[in-house]
Amino acid sequence: MSAGRAPGKIILFGEHAVVYRRPAIAVPVLGVEVNAQIEILEAETTGQVWLESATVAVSGWIHDLKPGHPLATTLQLGLQALNITGFPSFRLRIRSSIPVASGLGSSAAVSVAIFRALNDHFKGDLTTQDINQMAYRIEKEYHGTPSGVDNTVIAYEQPVFFTMDADPEILRLSRPMHFVVADSGITSSTSEAVQGVRQRWEQEPSRYEALFDAIGQISREARGIMVGETRGSLGELMDRNHSLLQEIGVSSAVLDTLVNRARDAGARGAKLSGAGLGGNIIALTHGGEDQSIADALLQAGASRILHTVVYP
Ligand code: PMV
């Protein structure tokens, strides 16, 4: 059996502004993942793929999916990249512990895991960079105008300082970072949130450009602190980033409540993470007090808590 996996992710700084070519920082969440497994179906003919995925509620032959189904396109792109034409029929099974539509990168992780499983199965030589670019193509086809930060951090499985159209910088952290991630329980559509920002940017371009500049500057400052080049408070930068996200109109009363509750419970800083309007907030902690912060967030209505540590 062949397999591929991919982790979840959180955006620490720079969401939305990154779509307007400002830098962002994202880190992998290794405690959740997508797993793709490929097994040859002995009894079957060639060239058929049986797909099984509880996550996207699919169980059937890939050619029976509606035309343009994202999983069919992902599979086709993978086979094309590997120059595969005829092959013994196989079963592709996808399992995921990454919650969908909550800002943890589930869609990019599905693509990356499938490409890795295909590469393993067909003994291909696709590099991380190839897989990243392929996953970006899928993101672009199905998720509006993505910046590419999700597929990049998930493909590299390392903290990244990301700017569109530039090579990602892998960040070597100077010390571990502890996060509590709290799900608001409200699913949100990234493309709707991104479209909303675009409409407001079109109405007030100079105000929005200034907000994006301020967010980009926060990402740069945070990068310096994370790699140990400069001193400063990452928690404070997260708080400032959250205020700017409020100003660009992607926070909500529920997200603000969770962010405030995390700070009151002792987090070093907190902000929404991802597209906003729903999805997750993240709180940076000292590591020891995570449980009391998690309890406070659950009490404030969070539907699920994840703890994650990013090690140097
Ligand atoms: O909702 P998520 O975690 O996929 O985050 C989207 C991040 C945005 O900056 C809002 C969009 C993008 O493509 O970068």
Average pLDDT on 76-100 reads 94
Distance 91 CA to ligand 1 centre (A): 31
Cα–Cα distance, 41 to 37 (Å, whole number)? 13
Average pLDDT on 83-105 reads 91
To the nearest whole percent, how much of the chain has pLDDT over 70?
A: 100
What atom of ligand 1 comes closest to residue 143's alpha carbon? 13
Distance 18 CA to ligand 1 centre (A): 8
Q: State yes or no: pLDDT of 43 exceeds 80.
A: no
Pocket test for ligand 1, best of 194, 241, 248, 251 (most atoms within 8 A of CB): 194
pTM: 0.96
Catalytic, 150? Answer yes
- Say what the pLDDT of residue 195 is: 95
Phi (first) and psi of residue 212, to 5 degrees: -65, -40
Ligand 1 pocket list (CB less than 6 A): 11, 15-16, 18-19, 103, 105, 146-147, 149-150, 190, 194, 274-275, 279
Instruction: Name the pLDDT band for 36 (thresholds 50, 70, 90).
Output: very high
Burial class (CB in 10 A: 0-12, 13-18, 19+), 47: middle
Instruction: Name the pLDDT band for 132 (thresholds 50, 70, 90).
Output: very high
What atom of ligand 1 comes closest to residue 250's alpha carbon? 10
Residue 68 has which token pair?
A: 């343009």
Asked whether the beta carbons of 228 and 176 are under 8 A apart, the reply is no
User: Which residues 6+ apart lie within 8 Å of 181 measured at CB?
Assistant: 10, 29, 104, 273, 280, 281, 282, 283, 305, 306, 307, 308
- Nearest protein CA to atom 13 of ligand 1, as residue: 146
Please give the mean pLDDT across all residues of the chain.
95
- Say what the pLDDT of residue 276 is: 94
Q: Mind listing the pLDDT tens digit for each residue in 156-190?
A: 999 999 999 999 999 999 999 999 999 999 988 88
Catalytically annotated residue among 150, 183, 239, 290? 150
Q: State yes or no: pLDDT of 143 exceeds 90.
A: no
What atom of ligand 1 comes closest to residue 276's alpha carbon? 1
Q: Mind listing the pLDDT tens digit for each residue in 205-262?
A: 999 999 999 999 999 999 999 999 999 999 999 999 999 999 999 999 999 999 999 9
Q: Of all helices (H) and strands (E), which one includes residue 196?
A: helix 190-203
